[in-house]
Chain A
Amino acid sequence: MGKIFRKPEALSEQQTHYCPGCTHGVIHRLVAEVIDELGISGRTVGIAPVGCAVLAYNYFVFDFQEAAHGRAPAMATGIKRVRPDLMVFTYQGDGDLASIGMGEIIHAANRGEKFTTIFVNNAVYGMTGGQMAPTTMPNQRTTTSPFGRNVAEVGMPIKVAELLAALQTPAYISRQTVIRPKYIVKAKKAIRKAFEYQLEGKCFSIVEVVSTCPTNWGMTPLESVNWAETTLLPYYPLGDIKTPESVNGGTDAK
């Protein structure tokens, strides 16, 4: 009987630095599986963000660049413009993409740059130790919102997928999660679709992945999964938010 479960070839042997219960590992694996299935690792360039995933390049075995905070979409633009034959993806967290890098992601999406973004939204800054992010939930306590996020002072959490879907340029925009196996299957399908759209040179594609951060949420991994499901998912609904086939932009699925 052959092996039925193995490490994707696009993943390295490196031992993880991510915390127990963190979903980065699952997302890395899904990206690697898709790259294996499409047979594109020899022409893929990944771009690591600033944040916990800055070391993402340790886990993948294809070409990688390391961006400054928030600037991965500009670097991806540079690569795709001079080497349209390369497959390029950025891997970014919510502080990186939705705060300091908001300008870069909006304009890359609006130009219809033909790369893919994996956007990991865990509602908090991870690497720097749990500060408030643009995606932090109302009343959620963080190290810089010790009394809970006060929306009267700092506004409501940003729904990145919906925000980008408001742009009129065709794009593939999906929101998924990987907190339970039933979601993981769908998330992989979306990531695969995102890469396929790029492969066809069709449009910008982004998959927002609602994730957990047990360490900075101050929860056990199991509590984190439950909190994400009951608190994050109602605010960040799952599904394809926009496909390039949709006529007027905006929500057309789920």
Chain B
Amino acid sequence: MSKVLMKGNEAIGEAAIRAGCLNYFAYPITPQSEVAEYLSHRMPEVNGVFLQGESEVAVGYMIFGAAACGARVMTTSSSPGISLMSEAISYIASAQCPAVFVNIMRGGPGLGGILPSQGDYFQATKGGGHGDYRLLVFAPASVQEAVEMVMMAFPLAEKYRNPVMILGDGLIGQMMEPVTFPDHLKTEPVNTDSWATSGMDTRHSKTRNLVKSLYLDPVQLNAHNLKLKAKYDRMKKEDIRFESYNIESDYRVLIVSYGTMSRVCRTAIDNLKAEGFEVAMIRPQTLFPFPELAVRQAASKESCQIVVSIEMNMGQMLEDVERCVQGRKPVEWYGKCGGEVPTPEEIMEVVQSFATSTRKEQN
């Protein structure tokens, strides 16, 4: 298919259909409502299911019910809506059903604002809902990448029988960019007979399936959690994705940044390079599992004086970066939230001043 100019939210909707997801439930919220608007007319064209639920709380459970039958399902929302869905996400993770949740982040906390933000990093990567569970979290940095990640998300959700989250920011949803859609996914639908409540007749089975998350026996609940943990550990082994930039240079500063913010950082890095100041970047494409080793190794390079986590929040990924660097180098944070996206000039200035102050301290 040739290149088309498309708004991120609409491209995400189209990508879901091309990934074979014909079931979509959602509730309107800015800045992601265009996904629902787009799919409200696209789903009928492909004999798919579109339903606007009465709340994000209900939508979370529509997703759960449908996913538990073995159907490929997606919902999209934005920060406050994801908070409401987090109850269902916890249940779905425990019940081990595949589903895709897209969060087009806006500023928080509370009602916050409607402009781009990365304030839900903690929520997406550290829980959000109750209990020990993890999501596989993708962070797209362009409309094209959002499309590719949505299409990757479904097979991965099915591989792990776990919810996958696409964590985009408002810019990714609202921005129009040229995008080339990959062909429809060719993957065969996975066999869900061992667990899905698809009806015994459908499975030609006399054994019923039960989808649940209640384990009153503490020994059983512990065993269940260990089983879930093994899956999250497997994600760390098999599905970390990241991109490195200018990593071959003798960089003085290592930036860790993702999503829209990482694009601004890339421009800043190019501009600084022209001035003879080398900066490299690790851009996590999966926020969980986090590219721990890549960050640690990049920080360990001798030329690297300081690591800076740059994000559109008050320093959330910073804690993961500090964890990975393990004190090998100083770690700083720079960011803004509420909808203001730092400019390349701002990043250039910040990065240089961090490098200078570190040098002074070392002297």
List chain A positions with a Cβ less than 8 A from chain B: 41-45, 47-48, 54, 57, 60-68, 71, 74-79, 81-83, 85-86, 103-104, 107
Contact = CB atoms under 8 A, between A and B. Distances in A.
Contacts of A47: 65
Nearest to A45: B197
Contacts of B58: 71, 74, 77, 103-104, 107
A104 B208 CA distance: 27
Contacts of B271: none
Nearest to B204: A42
B208 A61 contact: yes
Contact of A82 (B23, B87, B210): B23
A42 B200 contact: yes
A57 B95 CA distance: 15
A74 B63 CA distance: 9
B88 A71 contact: yes
A82 to B, nearest CB: 4
Nearest to A43: B199
Contacts of A48: 212
Contacts, number: 126
A78 B210 contact: no
A67 B198 contact: no
Contacts of B63: 78
12 contacts: A43-B199, A45-B69, A63-B199, A63-B200, A65-B210, A71-B60, A71-B64, A74-B64, A75-B68, A81-B51, A103-B54, A104-B61
B91 interface: yes
Nearest to A69: B87
A71 B61 contact: yes
Contacts of B60: 71, 74
Contacts of A62: 200, 208
What 8 A-B pairs are tightest by C-beta distance, nearest first? A78-B65, A75-B65, A42-B201, A74-B61, A78-B62, A78-B66, A66-B212, A63-B197
Contact of A63 (B23, B51, B64, B208): B208
Interface centre among A41, A63, A66, A67 (most CB of B within 10 A): A63
Nearest to B211: A65
Nearest to A77: B62
Nearest to A86: B199
Interface of B: 23, 25, 49, 51, 53-55, 57-69, 71, 73, 87-88, 91, 95, 197-202, 208-214
A48 B197 CA distance: 13
Contacts of A54: 214
Given A65-B197, A77-B62, A78-B66, A107 B212 contact: no
B115 to A, nearest CB: 29
A31 to B, nearest CB: 15
B212 A74 contact: no
Contact of A68 (B61, B66, B73, B210): B61
Contacts of B55: 103
Given A54-B214, A67-B61, A81-B51, 4 more contacts: A43-B199, A81-B49, A82-B23, A104-B58
B211 A82 contact: no
Contacts of B49: 81-82
B211 A66 contact: yes
Contacts of A104: 54, 57-58, 61
A57 B212 CA distance: 10
Contacts of B210: 57, 63-66
A47 B64 CA distance: 12
A130 to B, nearest CB: 20
A82 B61 contact: no
Given A74-B62, A81-B49, A82-B49, A65 B68 contact: yes
A62 B86 CA distance: 29
B177 to A, nearest CB: 32
B199 A44 contact: yes
Given A66-B211, A103-B58, A79 B65 contact: yes
B250 to A, nearest CB: 54
B53 A74 contact: yes
B49 to A, nearest CB: 5
B348 to A, nearest CB: 49
Contacts of A45: 69, 197, 199
A128 to B, nearest CB: 14
A75 B199 contact: no
Contacts of B62: 74-75, 77-78, 81
A85 B54 CA distance: 24
A82 B49 CA distance: 7
Contacts of A83: 69, 71, 198-199
Contacts of A63: 197-200, 208-210
Interface centre among A43, A82, A104 (most CB of B within 10 A): A82
A47 B61 CA distance: 12
A78 B202 contact: no
A115 to B, nearest CB: 10
Contact of B61 (A44, A75, A85): A75
Contacts of B87: 68
Contact of B54 (A44, A76, A82, A107): A107
B95 to A, nearest CB: 8
Contacts of B208: 60-64
Nearest to A68: B91
